Amino acid sequence: MDKIRIRGNRPLSGKIAIGGAKNAALPLMMASLLTDATLTLANIPYLADITTSANLLIQHGVSVKWRGFRAKAGPEGRSVELTADTISSTEAPYDLVRKMRASVLVLGPLLARCREARVSLPGGCAIGTRPVDLHIKGLERLGAEIDLAGGYIQARAPHGLKGAEIVFPQVSVGATENLLMAASLAEGETVLVNAAREPEVVDLANCLVAMGAQIEGIGSDRVKITGVERLHGANHSIIPDRIETGTYLMAAAITGGDVELLNTLYEPIAAVARILEGAGVEVTTTETGIRVRRENGRLLGVDVMTEPFPGFPTDLQAQMMALMATAEGAAMITETIFENRFMHVPELCRMGANINVHGASAMVRGVGQLTGAPVMATDLRASVSLVLAGLAAKGETIINRVYHLDRGYERLEDKLSACGAEIERLGDGSE
């Protein structure tokens, strides 16, 4: 099993290109099931979750063609062509779904197009129980008959789906995406109330419109979809990854570096940039991207609460905690989206951080300097928070179980090494 070794305490300096957003790419790939024509997605990142999604689609009968990967063109030059002209299976098996929760996003499209679907329940996961009840209740409102049996969601809509008003009791990115896709092919009008407004949801809605869907209120919490009989193909370029962007902003900040992030946008991470500015980090836009700098200034503790977009994203909470562990003063970090998303805390404490968790909040008392240690990655964002801590720490940090990183960060070691980090992957061939 691969490990990452970092010799830290050196500032990052240089440029980092940001890839297409993983969390936009996954639902966009599933949207290919809605049409028999070809959906081409450009700026596709090369990540383990993308391969898992492709394998899932292939077993549903979708033809998947990768373009531009050999040319080493970088994500902008790459695309994937997805053609679901015939759907040979409406079942998403446990073996694939367990690898990636987002597999449940095939449920809405399959049900809308084929009037039936059998999708394995994703089950629990490291960051809490993460149920899919909102997806199921929403699809039932559209007239689907759904049973849970043998660990599977069995859904049928023999007479097709019918538009309805769906009021989400809680904001859910995945449920909003599943319902957007299903409602696009339902009969009549669907209104989603308290819909998620994340940029990835907006990207999906824009692509659906390019495929012929009728959607109003995109980017607001009240979205109206008027179903159409058929959708057609489209060419769509995936938005830049705001979580990868935020992660490298914090990597530069934690090392006291000066980095320009290319191929990305400021607006989706505006809330994060404002928090970082409060912590003494300079974040400015340039003609080609975003520049982040903390050359001499002190890093100050600031309080952070995760919230649905446009608030501070839960997917940057662990990275922010690593940053705050090295600040002057205290920071209260409150996680409101997921229960049990503090698994990085004991690992950061092994590196000298002073963090106490009380329920959904963590009190981080900055210690200035962390020290390298062997640590264990537990999930995608927790893993990268340990990379950030390692970059700032004195001495050597070895991060075990780094396969989590490959689900969300493309060529992480290369991107950081190019900015002066001493980071390398060690394969020891063992489990």
**Positive/negative CA dihedral, 280, 390, 102, 206:** positive
Q: Are 310 and 271 in contact (CB under 8 A)?
A: yes
Q: Which of 7, 57, 11, 49 is nearest to 32 (CA)?
A: 57
Chosen residue from 131, 150, 151, 310 binding ligand UD1 by CB under 6 A: 131
Residues 164-203: x where in contact with ligand UD1 by CB under 6 A, - otherwise, as a string? ------x-xxxx------------------------x---
Residue 111 token pair: 């049900």
Helix (H) or strand (E) holding 361: strand 361-365
* 349 catalytic per annotation: no
Nearer to ligand UD1, 121 or 363 (CB): 121
Q: Is 320 in the site for ligand UD1 (CB under 6 A)?
A: no
Report the residue closest to ligand UD1, judged by CB.
174
Query: In angstroms, rounded to a whole number, what is the distance separating the alpha carbons of residues 258 and 156?
Result: 54
Nearer to ligand UD1, 38 or 361 (CB): 361
What are the counts of helices (DSSP H) followed by strands (DSSP E) for the chain? 13, 24
Q: Is 314 in the site for ligand UD1 (CB under 6 A)?
A: yes
Bridge partners, residue 80, by sequence: 41, 66
Q: How far is the CB of 410 from ligand UD1 (least distance, A)?
A: 16
Residue 264 token pair: 């990305």
Rounded to whole angstroms, what are the CA distances from 141 to 189, 322, 327, 335? Answer: 12, 42, 48, 30
Q: Is 23 in the site for ligand UD1 (CB under 6 A)?
A: yes
Q: How far is the CB of 339 from ligand UD1 (least distance, A)?
A: 7
Stretch that binds ligand UD1, among 125-133, 232-240, 250-258, 350-358 (CB under 6 A): 125-133
Residue 28 token pair: 């966009």
Query: In angstroms, rounded to a whole number, what is the distance separating the alpha carbons of residues 100 and 254?
Result: 30
Chain positions 81 to 110 lying near ligand UD1, rule: CB under 6 A, are: 101-102
Q: Is 156 in the site for ligand UD1 (CB under 6 A)?
A: no
DSSP-derived secondary structure letter, 391: H
Q: Are 264 and 291 in contact (CB under 8 A)?
A: no
Q: Which of 304, 299, 291, 305 is nearest to 325 (CA)?
A: 299
Chosen residue from 315, 335, 347, 379 binding ligand UD1 by CB under 6 A: 315
Q: Is 132 in the site for ligand UD1 (CB under 6 A)?
A: yes
Residue 290 token pair: 């975003």
Chain positions 335 to 364 lying near ligand UD1, rule: CB under 6 A, are: 337-338
Chain positions 43 to 72 lying near ligand UD1, rule: CB under 6 A, are: none
Q: Are 391 and 326 in contact (CB under 8 A)?
A: no
Nearer to ligand UD1, 102 or 388 (CB): 102
Q: Is 134 in the site for ligand UD1 (CB under 6 A)?
A: yes
Helix (H, G, I), strand (E, B) or coil at 66: strand
Q: How far is the CB of 89 from ligand UD1 (least distance, A)?
A: 22
Nearer to ligand UD1, 21 or 392 (CB): 21
Nearer to ligand UD1, 6 or 182 (CB): 182
The one catalytic residue among 114, 125, 207, 419: 125
Which residues form the catalytic set? 125
Return residues touching ligand UD1 (CB under 6 A): 23, 26, 101-102, 128, 130-135, 170, 172-175, 200, 314-315, 337-338
